[in-house]
């Protein structure tokens, strides 16, 4: 049997989902694609979507590092 789908959103509801992740490097981000927990959870979410996009941004820190 196919997996249960959530009900459609009510009229006027925003039907967009954004997942924000932060990685210290592009290599660290790429390793996340091999993590089985991350892959399983993301795949389950993707099944509910009609379209997915992966956008990347490079953020440059403009503050002072915190001291421990």
* pLDDT computed for residue 45 by the predictor: 84
Number of helices (H) and strands (E), helices first, in the chain? 2, 0
Digitized pLDDT (tens) for each residue of the chain, 68 residues in all: 667 787 776 665 566 777 888 888 888 888 888 889 988 988 888 888 877 888 777 777 667 777 77
The residues, ordered by sequence, that sit 6+ positions from 63 with a Cβ below 8 Å of its Cβ are: none
What is the pTM (predicted TM-score) of this model?
A: 0.46
3-state DSSP assignment of residue 45: helix
* pLDDT computed for residue 12 by the predictor: 58
Q: What is the DSSP letter of 27?
A: H
The residues, ordered by sequence, that sit 6+ positions from 61 with a Cβ below 8 Å of its Cβ are: none
């Amino acid at each position: 049997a196919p997996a249960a789908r959530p009900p459609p959103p009510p009229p006027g509801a925003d039907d967009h989902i954004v997942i924000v992740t932060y990685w210290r490097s592009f290599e660290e981000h790429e390793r996340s694609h091999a993590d089985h927990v991350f892959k399983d959870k993301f795949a389950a979410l993707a099944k509910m979507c009609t379209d997915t996009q992966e956008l990347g941004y490079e953020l440059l820190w403009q503050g002072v590092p915190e001291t421990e």
